[in-house]
Every structure is written in C-alpha cells, then in structure tokens.
Structure 1
C-alpha cells in the first residue's frame, strides 16, 4: 500500500477540444477531443506521478465513463482503487476558442451516490492493517449528490483514530464541516478562509489574524492559503510565512491547485520543513499554469521554479 492515498468522490472524465470560434446556433467544427481522468484527488495522484512520487487514487466510479477513467490512469501508470457505483461517472467539457484564446469550461453535476458506496471508502480505510495504513490521505474535490456534507469530517475522525495525516482541499459546506480535530492541513483560498472565520470576505490586512484564529480554534494544524499568482501564505503555530513565485508565462490555471497539493504532500513525505513544503507546492502550482489546457505540472518546470525560490530565499 502506498504512503499516500488520495480520495475522489466526484471524479470526472474530462474532455477537451479546440474550435475556431464559439458561436450560437451554429454547427461548430471541433478538433479531435482529448480525454483525461479528472477530479481533485485523481489530479493530485497524477501530479504526484509527474513529480516522481507515488500514490494510490481511491475513487468512486461507474459506467463506461468510469471504465475509461481507469483505462487512462493505467496508461499514465497511476495506481488506483476503484469503488464501483451504480450510476455513471460524470463527464466535463472544456473548449478552447482559438481566435480569442478564451477557455470555456462546462462542469457537469456528479451522479447520485448511494450510502453503501461512499461508506465503503471510510470502512475500507478503517479496516486497513496497521502495516498498510498510509502516512498521508489527501481528500480533494467536491461531494456528489447523496454524500453528506460532513463526509470529510467523518474521514477526519478515521484519521484521528488511525493516526494518518489528513489533507483536505475542498470548499463550501464540505470545508466548513471538515475543519476540526483530525485534519492536519487545510488549503483554502482567501474566500474560503473568510468562510472558515464566519465572514463574507476579508482584506489582505486581516488574513494573518484570521489564519491565526482558524488555528487557535483547532480547525487544522497547518493552514496554507492559496493567493493565486501571488503564491501562498503558510500559517502554523510556528508563525506565518509567504512564498511568492516568479512571474511566468501563463497558459492555463486549470490544475494549479491540485499540482500545488501534490508538491506539498510529496515534500512532507520526504520530511521537509513546512516552509519548504509550501515552497515546492507553489513551484508545482506555478508550473501547472505554464502548461496548456488541463495539463498538470511538469517536473522540469517545477524544479526550475523551486530552485529559483530557494535562491530568492537565500538572497532575502
């Protein structure tokens, strides 16, 4: 069993294509579509593979779209465990408009998932023999219909019981209910950080105070706040640190967050400090923005940006 398990309850078969121009009421001639396995945890596992790490992607999948996701993961050499669902896995569509460079992303709702299906994920984690218990579990992405909002909270209870470190990257009610004992690391953006503190929005001047409040309330042990092109803020009981990446040519922000999480958990597994964890995560997230469409980070880009950040740290 891998030291890292990722969990995806709402995976997607992502289909992307190009068209000259998006026009209403016209038959649009698209290029041959590209299919990729998608969903938060799945993308973290795929990015880990690209960075030279390993993991096992646990996922709920069903129907022909679910089978295709499994085939694609096999082709990429990503280890996975498929928990079968009665209903078919969703499909998403991304269209690149060549004339403008605009990107149109159509996200479909996930299928209804039945209790015995999502419960199997928790039950199987609880029953893992001690020698097969992972060191890190990454729970990422949205929850489909039928899965309770407190699923990640239930997962945190398993983490507390089985002594693995849980990293959660989600939003909305799932994030609000996940925060608490058993969660090692949360990765919100500024809007999600505000929600954790019970506020509609916060200013840059407030973000450090709010981060400390979230930690003091025991909602997680480590907080990494994504700041988009400005990098990330690390908050822990050791203090607050910012990691700001260099300005790079950006093609697409798709997959940046998942790549960032992959970079962070990989460095944690290797025993890195929290600051170095965020540094490598920001490097991976920035590297993902340099790739077209929904492509994730590339290792060579990640390493170059990481080395730049190290040198920048030294000069600072």
Structure 2
C-alpha cells in the first residue's frame, strides 16, 4: 500500500474555545479550551492515519507553539518528519459563539522560511518519497515563500515517480505547469482557476473534465459543500453526495475529505468509493466540536448506513 505523505510548510497549533456570546468591546469569558494539531497537510495525515492508511506528516516547527504542535501530533501516533525553523509556528484561534450558533476563526501569520530551511524541506520530500506514493501539498504557504514553491515540490515528486496531489490555491499556475497528478479545489477556490463562478452541477462538471482534457492534471476533484463532490479523470466523471449531519464545526472538514479520498485510492478502491469515503470523513468531522477531527466510528456509520448513529 503506498504511503500518503503530507506537506505542511505553514502549520498551526489550533486552539478552540466556547463562548456564550461574542460582542465588540466586551470581556468574552471562554470555556472548554481544546488544542489540536493544525494546518492542511497535518490534518490530512491525521485523517488518513485514523482510517488505517500509511501516512507521514512532513512539516516545519519552531518556538513554543511549535513544541506544542509536535507533542500534539505525537499524542495521536501520526508518523512525522519535522523540519526545525528559527521562526515561531503560528496559532489559529477558534471561538464557537453559542448565542448566534456561529464560529469565529482567527489565523495568525506563520514564520518566513529561510533559504536553508526551504532546502531542508525539499530534501525531506526527496528522501521520504518512494515510487507510487501520494504526496499531498496542502494549505497555505509561509510568508515570503516563492511562487514556485509547490512547483519545485511537483518536480521532485515527478522525479521520484510518485503522485503529486495539490490541495492549495497558493502557487497554483506554476505547479500545474510543472505537472500535477490530482488537483483538489472547493467551491470557493476553483473560480481562481476558472475565472468565474460556475453553476452546479453541469458547468462545474464540464470545467473539471476540460481541465483533465487539457492535460493540466490527471484527476480534478471539486468539493461543493452540501451539494457533494465530483472527480473527473480520463475515464469519466464520478460523484458522491454530501451526508446530512448536525454540524458543530467546519474546521478540518476539507482536510478530512482529502484524507479519506486518498486512503481509499491507496487501497485500490474505485473513484466513486473514494469520493464517498472522503465525504463520510468530512461529514463526521463537521459533527465534531471545535478543531477536533472525526471519530472513526462516525465515518464508518456514514459510509455504510448514510446516517450518523
């Protein structure tokens, strides 16, 4: 079974709390603090590991929050390779507002990587990747990162005869020009590539199939919220609906989708079942509070029964 290697050059320590209300110029008393590892690639690795995949999280870390991030990942037994940096890992702060049943999400800027630190990150990808692996570039890039950051990664992955999965809008054009096995976008991200908002489902299906036909990627995946998700390949188009759940938080749902999708593909399952497992993982994460990811039992119930238990 190939590994799922996730890349997170700009991770975060996620900190979530609950508040009875959120108003300006008021002292907001919070409760039930939770701390979890954060950053797109780290969450993908966490999700894939919970679902039984062979995963490896490659990420940077520095400072007090970086130390806490490493401990949080280790507590979940997710295999990791950490690249130490001089700067500080960022904090992402989430507040659930119970009065209005909404959520506030504050993401601080990450640390700028030095040229030497970027080189260490690239070296880690080169050393860890084997033929057939899925290498997932996910989330934002650090401040000051060159526009061809993901393109350089794509080049390395292609040389290693592995599969590069881009789940980011950063450096998109340069990465696509270099070569991408799979591109995943959500309903808010794809317009940067299409140039406009498209109608669901037909216009989006046509767009995804055209991207594949143009040779920009072998697989185009678009997640469209409550409408479901599609995957276009040279063999056709597959669809999986969204699961109806009582949502508590959307944090990590997209990353869980990618983790579920790639776990199924790594097992050799069909594109349709891979989309279905991805949607089940996303739905189960939406059921979890704050920045917590899914419970594996919830994913199984959604996948097998269509409803949460």
TM over 0.5: yes
Equivalent of 1:168, from 149, 160, 166?
166
Cα deviation for residue 127 of structure 1 reads: 4.0
- Confirm or deny that 1:210 pairs with 2:207: yes
Q: Alignment partner of 2:171: what SS?
A: helix
In the aligned structure 2, how far is the partner of 1:287 from the partner of 1:227?
Answer: 17
State the partner residue of 1:154.
152
Cα deviation for residue 98 of structure 1 reads: 2.4
* TM-score where L is the length of structure 1: 0.90
State the partner residue of 2:197.
201
- Confirm or deny that 1:234 pairs with 2:231: yes
- Per-residue CA deviations over 1:105-140 (Å, capped at 9, x if unaligned) read 111111211121122121232245x8x566111110
In the aligned structure 2, how far is the partner of 1:124 from the partner of 1:292?
Answer: 33
Q: Alignment partner of 2:135: what SS?
A: strand
User: Pairwise CA RMSD of aligned residues?
Assistant: 2.1
8 Å CA contact 1:16, 1:34 repeated in 2? yes
State the partner residue of 1:190.
187
In the aligned structure 2, how far is the partner of 1:279 from the partner of 1:32?
Answer: 32
In the aligned structure 2, how far is the partner of 1:299 from the partner of 1:237?
Answer: 32
Q: Alignment partner of 2:158: what SS?
A: helix
In the aligned structure 1, how far is the partner of 2:31 from the partner of 2:294?
Answer: 24
- Confirm or deny that 1:104 pairs with 2:104: yes
The answer for unaligned runs of 5 or more in structure 2 is none
8 Å CA contact 2:208, 2:221 repeated in 1? no
The answer for unaligned runs of 5 or more in structure 1 is 310-316
- Confirm or deny that 1:219 pairs with 2:219: no
State the partner residue of 2:47.
47
Q: Alignment partner of 2:14: what SS?
A: strand
In the aligned structure 1, how far is the partner of 2:132 from the partner of 2:8?
Answer: 16
- Confirm or deny that 1:258 pairs with 2:255: yes
In the aligned structure 2, how far is the partner of 1:44 from the partner of 1:30?
Answer: 28
Q: Alignment partner of 2:65: what SS?
A: helix
8 Å CA contact 1:186, 1:224 repeated in 2? yes
In the aligned structure 2, how far is the partner of 1:79 from the partner of 1:126?
Answer: 17
In the aligned structure 1, how far is the partner of 2:64 from the partner of 2:53?
Answer: 29
* TM-score where L is the length of structure 2: 0.92
Q: Per the alignment, do residues 214 and 50 of structure 1 end up closer, same or farther by CA in structure 2, a change over 3 Å counting?
A: same
Aligned residues: 306
Q: Alignment partner of 2:190: what SS?
A: helix
In the aligned structure 2, how far is the partner of 1:22 from the partner of 1:13?
Answer: 22
Equivalent of 2:269, from 263, 272, 293?
272
- Confirm or deny that 1:70 pairs with 2:70: yes
- Confirm or deny that 1:92 pairs with 2:88: no
In the aligned structure 1, how far is the partner of 2:125 from the partner of 2:292?
Answer: 30
The 5 A counterparts of 1:280-291 are: 280-291=277-288
